[in-house]
Amino acid sequence: MADAAGHTVLARLQALRAAPEPLAALLSDLRGIEHGGDPRFAMTLDHYLQSWLGSQPREVFRLAGPRLLILAPADAGPLLDAGAKALGRMLLSHGFGTFHATRYDVATEMERLFADLFPNDATGALREAAERAPTAALAHLLEVERVLHGADVDSIVREQPIWSFDGDRALVVATELAVSLEELESRLSLSLRRDSWLRHEVAVRLDRGLLRHIARDRAQDPRRFTVDLHTATALDDNFEELARAIPTEMRGRIIAELPCWELTLAPSQVVEAAARLGDAGFAVALDHVPLAALDSLDTAGLEPVLIKIQWIHGATGAADKLSAAVARFGAGRLVLWRCDEPMALDTGRAAGVTLFQGRAADAAAAAPHRLSETRPRPGAEELEEQEEAAPALAETAEPTPPPHPGLLGRLLGRG
């Protein structure tokens, strides 16, 4: 399989122009998809489309936009069609938007494919950039690798607490750690998000950089942390070495957040990754669960300690969906995430959610009066149900951490 930056597709298509081959091409476009620009999300969707080809050979070109071009034998055309239709239905039903894909017969439709890929005769500029781009992108990637291996990664790691409002005072039950792309770009004086190849390669390395940071700089930190991880990171041959570098006791305080869309598209791989994480001592959470998909969420047998639901302003039926999820999973496992407006807390609280993450939650926790003081006192039956559903996570709730100075202080609370 060829996996290349956008400009390399030009040389391949020009060769096919000169010597046509019996190939089918699928051009997929993620520009109308929410999170389509997220390299981790795009990579997951790419892998899903390729999975429809089974063992069939293929060439894959990830392009700016973000777009993806897959070349496969001509008789694999129906498989590409079926995969694109299935992916489109899934994305639309989960509220991610409309997915666009076009299939071409390379032997007879090369000019149409060429025109769709390179409108307004942009091939000249691509040819001029072809010699410079690989070297420049690789140099930037080496700089990213240097920063992520450096001793001062702490300055580009942001923290955001997950708050519990299920007691007399707000408590931090876990703190999410993530590398700030904005700070990484600032340090490198480049835009990672303008180069699809570089963005993809950087995303692959962020997981490893963050795990190395935890092993080196957080081993003595007594707090419970959550970190975003790709399924591919946990299944990589080097994962065990990365995990062993983190003390066993520390691993017991780390929750690995696996993306919900990976579970939807490749459940067997996510289950395998979760098992491997569990063997290494990490707990597992599901991240980025859209409100629209909450009532149909299939955890594939996983028992995540946290399920992070993305708050979306104006989402239809949000209160009902959250209430049903509380009844199904328990209030102590649901985190309403990206709560950047008070309405998110009001809606979640009315539905029985007690865990929140985002700027509005930070503000409510710091307010002179507690959020719970403004809501009606629960009845005896409700109190009994809450006590029975109280998770082990709440028992290990952290005290409210002191404010972080400098850069981390400025980053704290950003969704």
Strand partners, 336: 309, 356
| C-alpha–C-alpha distance, residues 195 and 65, integer Å | 10
On the question of pLDDT at 134 being above 50, the answer is no
pLDDT digit string (tens) for 215-227?
A: 988 989 999 999 9
Backbone dihedral angles phi then psi of residue 390, each to the nearest 5 degrees? -60, 125
Question: With bands split at pLDDT 50, 70 and 90, how would you rate the model's confidence at 7?
Answer: very low
pLDDT of residue 382 exceeding 60: no
- Cβ atoms of 118 and 10 closer than 8 Å: yes
Weakest mean pLDDT among 40-54, 116-130, 304-318: 116-130
d(CA 224, CA 236): 24
What percent of the chain is predicted at pLDDT more than 70? 74
Sequence-separated (6 or more) residues with CB below 8 Å from residue 17: 110, 114
Contacts of 214 (CB under 8 A, 6+ apart): 177, 225, 227, 246, 250, 254
Structure tokens at 222: 């007594």
Q: Please tell me the pTM assigned to this model.
A: 0.62
**Which distant-in-sequence residues (6+ apart) come within 8 Å of 247 by Cβ?**
215, 219
Residue 194 has what DSSP assignment?
Answer: G
Sequence-distant (≥ 6) Cβ neighbours of residue 103 within 8 angstroms: 24, 25, 26, 27, 77, 80, 81, 84
Position 387 pLDDT exceeds 50: no
Q: What is the mean pLDDT of residues 268-284?
A: 94
Measured CA distances, 391 to 186, 306, 326 (Å): 40, 10, 13
Q: How far is the C-alpha of 132 from the C-alpha of 5, rounded, in Å?
A: 12
273 Cβ neighbours under 8 A, 6+ residues apart? 231, 234, 235, 258
d(CA 1, CA 7): 17
Q: Pick the residue with more confidence: 360 or 393?
A: 360
Does residue 172 contact residue 397 with C-beta atoms inside 8 Å? yes
Output the six-digit token pair for 186.
């600032």
pLDDT reading at 116 higher than 50: yes
| pLDDT category of residue 284 using cuts at 50, 70 and 90 | very high
- The single-letter code of the amino acid at 63 is L
What tokens were used for 260?
């919900």
Q: What would the two tokens of residue 127 be?
A: 């040819």
Flag whether pLDDT at 360 surpasses 80: yes
Count other C-beta atoms under 10 Å from residue 128's C-beta: 11
Mean pLDDT on 217-242? 90
DSSP annotation of 321 reads H
Q: What whole-number percentage of the chain has pLDDT above 90?
A: 39
Cα-Cα-Cα-Cα dihedral of 309, 313, 315, 317, to 10°?
Answer: 80
pLDDT at 282: 98
- The neighbour count for residue 33, using CB atoms within 10 Å, is 23
70-99 pLDDT, tens per residue? Answer: 999 999 999 999 999 989 888 887 778 889
Ranges assigned E (strand) in 296-400: 306-310, 334-337, 355-356
C-alpha dist (Å) from residue 174 to 237, 255, 355, 391? 28, 9, 10, 13
> 232 or 346: which carries more pLDDT confidence?
346
State how far the Cα of 221 lies from the Cα of 234, in Å rounded to an integer.
23
CA 114 vs. chain centroid, Å, equals 32
CA distance 40 to 182: 17
Locus of tokens 């795009």: 42
**CA 100 to CA 97: how far, in whole Å?**
10
- Helix/strand/coil for 297: coil
> What is the distance between the alpha carbons of residues 415 and 81, in angstroms, rounded to a whole number?
37
